[in-house]
Every structure is written in C-alpha cells, then in structure tokens.
Structure 1
Amino acid sequence: METHVTGQPVLGELRHALSAVFFGNPLFSPQEQLLANHDIHECEDARQLTRWLRSLSAAIAHRRSADLFSTPSLAGYVV
C-alpha cells in the first residue's frame, strides 16, 4: 500500500480489506456487520484500521473455535 500525501489510498485499501472480512461472514451477526461498516467508514486513522485488521483474524479464530464447542450434539438432543 502506498501512502499519498492525504493518506486516502491507504485508508481506502484498509477499509476495503476490513469490509471484505466482515460482510457475508456468518461469524458476525447482521447488527455487528452494520456497526462495523459504520466504524470502518468513519475512522480516519490508518493505524487504527491496521490494528483492527490484524486483531480481526484472532477474533475470527476465536469465534470459530467457540462455535465448534457451542454446537449442540445431536446425541441426546431432545426436540
């Protein structure tokens, strides 16, 4: 990513990368996706967006592992 004087190309690329991870991802509720969209597009700090992008992969891994353990077992499951 190249930084121009205004920093806009970097912000645009970071916003695009974050949006690509959030939207359509079943690990995030529609409300979380909506709030993320707002926060992504309101943030003007490339460092903050970069930190958010880095921490997002850890959050996704955590949610995936939590989802594996929260799925009810079909054995003994009463409807």
Structure 2
Amino acid sequence: METHVTGQPVLGELRHALSAVFFGNPLFSPQEQLLANHYIHECEDARQLTRWLGDMSAAIAHQHPTSHCSTPAMAGHVV
C-alpha cells in the first residue's frame, strides 16, 4: 500500500481495499453494500478507514460461511 510522507496510507488505496471487502460478498445485502460504498467514499480519515478495514476483515474471516459455527448467531445458519 502506498504511503504519504507522513506514513498515512493513501485514501484511494484504503477505499479500494474496503470496497473489495464488501462488493460481491454474500454476507452483505445489496443495501449494505451501497451504504458501505457511500461511507467509504465520503470518509476522509485514513485512520478511521484503516480501522474499519481491519475490523471488517477480521469479522468476515470469523463469520465466513465455510468456517465452523463459533458464535450463537451462526448456530442456526445453514450453508
């Protein structure tokens, strides 16, 4: 990921990475994907986008349909 002189990731790179997490992911409805897209492109805070990317990536890895049901919310989930 490219960085500015300050060491902050380029907003465009962060936006691209976050968009890749959401779009085409069956865990998110089309409405959720549109809301995420709006937020991603409106946010100008690289730290906030970085934190959101890390949180979403971890949550998706934890909730991935091919993983074992490890949370009560997923207990009744049929793949």
Distance, in Å, in 2 between the alignment partners of 1:60 and 1:69 is 18
State the shift of 1:63 in Å.
2.8
Divergent runs of 4+, >4 A: 65-69
Q: Which sections of structure 2, spanning at least 5 residues, go unmatched?
A: none
Residue number in structure 2 paired with 1:48:
48
State the shift of 1:62 in Å.
3.5
State the shift of 1:2 in Å.
1.6
State the shift of 1:61 in Å.
2.6
Q: Which sections of structure 1, spanning at least 5 residues, go unmatched?
A: 73-79
Structure 1-normalised TM-score?
0.74
Residue number in structure 2 paired with 1:76:
none
- CA-based RMSD of the aligned residues comes to 2.4
Residue number in structure 1 paired with 2:3:
2
State the shift of 1:13 in Å.
0.4
Instruction: Provide the identity percentage.
Output: 73
Greater share of helix? 1
Distance, in Å, in 1 between the alignment partners of 2:75 and 2:5 is 43
Which protein has the larger Cα radius of gyration, Structure 1 or Structure 2?
1
Distance, in Å, in 1 between the alignment partners of 2:75 and 2:37 is 26
